[in-house]
Structure 1
Amino acid sequence: MAAQLEVLYDEINHRGRTALAAGREELDPYLAGRMVDSRAGLTLLGHLPAHVCRNLEFYLQTIAQLAPDQYYYPAQDMHITVMDLLAAQADFSLTAAQFDHYQRVVAPLVASTPPIHWRIQGLIVSPSAVMARGFYSPELADLRNRLRQALPAAGLKLTERYPTFSGHVTVVRFKRPLKESAALLAKLAAAKNLDFGAFSMHSLDLVVHDWYNHQITSTAHLPLAD
């Protein structure tokens, strides 16, 4: 699992570094204020413990010195996506009854899943964002596979944009052209294997939220197995 994740993260990082070196970073039009953002979706996600958020924030302060005009996720918004059940889209709508139906199907699957063990190590860059690499235990992959089987079997829509394999944490999104790309890339390269901490995840949240996990309109707290 770790080796496959290393390959995935290296591919993302190569694309990102190539784009930034050529001045072709992808700017978020919503964060830049050029578009009204009504996007939302239904997601199963996990939160980071305080010590990991603190370590990430500490290093991000040095990134912000080189790229001060970008969007930095507040600690309370940082998360790991287990699965986008209904991918975010404009004018998203989900009734309370529909949310409850998803919860009734998802909750037993989560409850039968042992705690998921994580290591957050290293920063990489995509053309549009800076991410922390997440490495996880096999329990997560098993839960994702069971969700893919159970939701359609229960007559529930699953609009996962692509089969989720990554376990990254998005920590910065680009909203303004970068002024010091070379220095930023050097700083990120220095953090390629920086250890931000390990932890065990004992619960997940089913949420209706915006693209940045900043506005949450519905939530259900789901414990994993003891």
Structure 2
Amino acid sequence: MDLKEHYDKLYQDSVCKIHSDAYQIDELIGSVDDNRYGITLLLRPDKMVLENIHKLLSRLKLIEPNQYYYRDSDIHVTVMSIISCYSGFQLSNIQAEDYVRTIEKSKNDLSPFEIEFRGLTMSPSCLMVQGFLEDTTLDQLRNKLRIDFKDSGLEQSIDKRYAIQTAHSTIFRLKEKFKDKNAFLKILEEYRDFYFGKFTVEAMELVYNDWYQRKEFVKILHKFELKERTYIGY
């Protein structure tokens, strides 16, 4: 899959839907009845990237103040949704240690890798920063996770909703109808190819989380450190 073509198609399709008022509003944001929880392996961008995202969101808030904007603490890249959020799932349903051991097996000898955040893409309900990978490290890890969890017998829902292939980060969700969609889209066009920064992934987190990855509902189950391989020459 060509990531740029994939992101471009998402963006163009979603812009068309916004123009025709066929976008989707997330009516569960802020609902006290929302009890969707799951388990996710994720990574987090660095400070410079977050600062650039914050500047964009600050501009969008002036136009659409009542929409849902991700806080710095909640912004992430999903490595793999191990158990996709569903109503009623609780951490007590599983033995977290079993999941940690399986991921440790999958990430064995995994070295740090880089992600470049450049430009924006959309779905009919949310805005995302585009992530681009310089090598196949993340793809290899995801494929290994698929195999190891399939063999583990543990509860999991990997690829049940869709097979994750990108390295994007969701930063905004539609909570209500647009007040000024044309002004909103104009800013998006300015940032269509904006360079948010490049960061090195040196750690990943396994978390118990709600649908929106809000810090107050997230519990870190384990942090996985990535270390450079040491080669000994003779």
The bucket for the TM-score relative to the shorter chain is over 0.9
Instruction: Tell me the CA shift for residue 36 of structure 1.
Output: 1.6
Correspondent of 2:40 among 40, 43, 57: 43
| Alignment partner, residue 76 of structure 1 | 73
Q: Is this contact kept in 1: 2:205–2:220, CA < 8 A?
A: no
Question: How many residue pairs align between the two structures?
Answer: 223
Correspondent of 1:24 among 22, 25, 40: 22
Tell me whether 1:9 sits opposite 2:4 in the alignment.
no
Q: Distance in 1 between matches of 2:100 and 2:93?
A: 10
Q: What SS does the corresponding residue of 1:95 show, helix, strand or coil?
A: helix
Larger Rg: 2
Instruction: Tell me the CA shift for residue 93 of structure 1.
Output: 2.2
Q: Distance in 2 between matches of 1:75 and 1:32?
A: 18
Q: Is this contact kept in 2: 1:77–1:213, CA < 8 A?
A: yes
Q: Is this contact kept in 1: 2:11–2:121, CA < 8 A?
A: yes
Q: TM-score with structure 2 length normalisation?
A: 0.90
Q: Counterpart amino acid of 2:221?
A: T
Instruction: Tell me the CA shift for residue 24 of structure 1.
Output: 2.1
Which deviations, in whole Å up to 9, do the C-alpha atoms of 1:195-216 show, x marking residues without a partner? 0000110110011101111111
Instruction: Tell me the CA shift for residue 18 of structure 1.
Output: 1.2
| Alignment partner, residue 209 of structure 1 | 209
1:1-150 aligned at under 5 Å gives the runs 4-31=2-29, 33=31, 36-95=33-92, 98-136=95-133, 137-150=135-148
For structure 2, which runs of at least 5 residues remain unmatched after alignment? 229-234
Q: Counterpart amino acid of 1:219?
A: L
Q: Distance in 1 between matches of 2:130 and 2:143?
A: 21
Which deviations, in whole Å up to 9, do the C-alpha atoms of 1:90-125 show, x marking residues without a partner? 111233862110111102322421112110011222
Q: What SS does the corresponding residue of 2:39 show, helix, strand or coil?
A: strand
Q: What SS does the corresponding residue of 1:69 show, helix, strand or coil?
A: coil
Q: TM-score with structure 1 length normalisation?
A: 0.93
| Alignment partner, residue 193 of structure 1 | 193
Q: Distance in 2 between matches of 1:97 and 1:67?
A: 40
| Alignment partner, residue 158 of structure 1 | 156
Q: Counterpart amino acid of 1:74?
A: R
Q: Counterpart amino acid of 1:205?
A: E
Q: What SS does the corresponding residue of 1:221 show, helix, strand or coil?
A: strand
Greater Cα offset, 107-116 or 149-158: 107-116
Q: Distance in 1 between matches of 2:29 and 2:13?
A: 22
Q: Distance in 1 between matches of 2:41 and 2:109?
A: 15
Q: CA RMSD in A?
A: 1.5
Q: Distance in 1 between matches of 2:57 and 2:193?
A: 15
